Structure 1
Amino acid sequence: MHIPENYLSPSTCVVFTAAMLPIWYSAAKSVKRELPKEKIAMIGVGAAFSFIGMMFNVPLPGGTTGHAVGATLIATLLGPEAACLAVSVALLLQALLFGDGGILSFGANCFNMAFAAPFIGYFIYRLMLKALSKGGDVKVQHRLLSAALSSYVGINVAALLAAIEFGVQPYLFHNAAGQALYCPYGLNISIPSMMIGHLTIFGLAEVVFTVAILAFISKTAPAFLKENMEEKAGKKQLLPVGILLAVLTVLVPLGLLAEGTAWGEWGADEIAEVVSGGQKLGYTPNGLENGFQFNSLIPDYSLESVGIPEVAGYIISAVIGISVLVILFRIISSFKTKKD
């Protein structure tokens, strides 16, 4: 679901970045106003879960792959505004350091995964939780069932938005010969290609990821839950969450078992040979071939260029990502004072 560089026109990227600016500003103000210092630091843990969840690629018959995002998970724990900031920073780190998602398309990726997914997911979560807990008694099973449905809807809304953003490109931007300049697949191909996987396997992966982690945290670290706003997470609660992140880090090479490339994330050197919609494209869109290029430090989470095996490089990338996110939000939380 990460839209790569040059699949969207520069003007499209500008529109989505401009749309995200007031959203980021509002989310930051809300988090600063509503969350205590300790909870702001916990946003880094939420971002870490999102980051590592996106490294667990899941295969789909036909050669494509996808992954969970964890946006609704963070929204249920800390609120949609915190989720917006957490996923946005995780996406920025992925784009800058690992080349996962484009720099120019960062705003569009955030609009889909850091705005639409957590806010719509959280709205449905609260609506369903209220319906299930008519007597005011919120039970764990109510929370988990609500999280399951809301996370499924959230990731599919994000996927649909990405499919539309892909699909309108050839209608709006093409050369005199009718060849697309950026994404070459119209809505008739982009929507079913994106949605079949997300309505089935990838949506299920999001549900499992969300419910499993939410159930674990609800039992071992309830201070992470939004309703326990003023409760501090002591070492007894931080430890199991840290252990869970460590276990997921060790298991993250399972994401390498998924063969193929996610739909819409092909390189300029391979898209001409891609068969989508039943036929080979046969050309390379000019925008993809001659567009903006950015060389990330650890492309594709791989350190094989420096002699580190693929599996070890993937684990090291996960450790780097988690560490940066946790430390960054801890530093940000340090600026909050009692007067804020």
Structure 2
Amino acid sequence: MKTLMMLSLPLLAIALPAAAQEVNVYSHRQPELVQPLFDAFTQETGIEVNVAYVDKGMVERLVSEGSRSPADLVMTVDIARLAQIVDAGVTQPVESEVLAANIPAEFRDPGNQWFGLTSRARIVYASKERVADGEVTTYEDLADPKWQGRICTRPGTHDYNLGLMAGVIAHDGEEAAKEWATALRANLARKPEGNDRGQVKSIWAGECDISLGNTYYMGEMLADPEQKEWADSVRIVYPVFKDGGTHVNVSGVAMTKAAPHHDDALKLMEYLSSDAAQKIYAEINHEFPVKPGVPSSDLVESWGPFTPDSVNLMDLARLRPDALRIMEEVNFDG
């Protein structure tokens, strides 16, 4: 009997199919920005990456699914969403020497719950024809009445603008931040709407002279035959806070508490921090790599140098509720 059981084990092992090598990702990021990375990862490792693009309700979805969630990783577009997911208790800490070596401490959670993958600056797109060099140097300048009817932006309650607003609060305090938001609203050429590229189109069309936007959208517009004319009508200006640097935010990744494919998910996280993936981010997505030693693309370098603001990313995340409250109090999007 014992002999039969021992003999049957190898046969049983042969009969069972191998466990599928795959990673399931819930992503806020646009498909075209992350698919090249997943394709390269699969080609290198043979591990398939399945992606569900979740624009809204990611936290609620993960909480509802609980331990039954099929998601291994979540990828988000800014620090506030990363913090929200961690605060909801649906992630787990990840101990990895590779991640610790590749990602500087300022771009990862002290408790290893999330890891930044790229950074981007929130800058001003300025009309080459109607805005002189040096007219905008600080974010506070945007409140100057000389810009009345000349500024375009996406909604103030969008995460990108809330991140910037959190930076204003961190530097200038709540009262000054509310005054800034009120003055900025008064300077708008039209109701906040659309995305960052849409604002540049409005500059090209003569509807406004400056707009707020993320740096990488310039690369996307230049690569699009329809949008290249918009991009050629503006230049990038890196404003600073009057006592700081240029506002930056991050895209990042976290592992879910459920993570049914933990080991493969960790491999993907480590790959995303590697030289190969960081170069893809730089060349295809026009973002700033977080791994030291990986250069930005030649195109991004051509936009000139800037000094990133030193406010801690987690401080920005904690100030997001205050930023949202102020934007709603001044009826910024109304």
Q: What is the TM-score normalised by the length of structure 2?
A: 0.24
Q: Name the structure with the higher strand share.
A: 2
> Quick check: which one's helix share is greater?
1
